[in-house]
Structure 1
Amino acid sequence: MMLKSDRFASSLYDPDSLFTLRHYYQEMNLAYEDVSLPVPIETFVVEFQKRLAPTLEETDITSAHRILSIYRESV
């Protein structure tokens, strides 16, 4: 699956511009063009997740209940 946006518009915001898609492609020695080449969803989600939240655990949420103004999830 591919993202609909062009590569120049498919970066995560950070104040120092360290996590742009362009930087990622340069670090991985991949060809990069601002427009015309689609971004694989795996690149955007999986690779950025590995770099920014390497200890993230995937969990299936089976239900969510609102208690006052706080949500509590069941796993």
Structure 2
Amino acid sequence: MMRERAALAANAEDADLWRWFSRLVEERRVRWCCSARGWLVSVDNRHVATAQSFDDAMRDAMERVTARSN
């Protein structure tokens, strides 16, 4: 039962992340590139995250951007 709840929570987090990402892509507000330092993510022309994996960089970016807007 715990594993099932954890899987459902992870799926919901992933869905939120990728809805956020796709909305920003459609609005042309997000940019990303892979560099020697890892994945760099900018939103609204402001650097918001750097991480070794694309997924981690996007999760960090979403967390920082949504925290900034609240």
With normalisation by structure 1, the TM-score equals 0.27
With normalisation by structure 2, the TM-score equals 0.28
Higher Cα Rg, which structure: 1
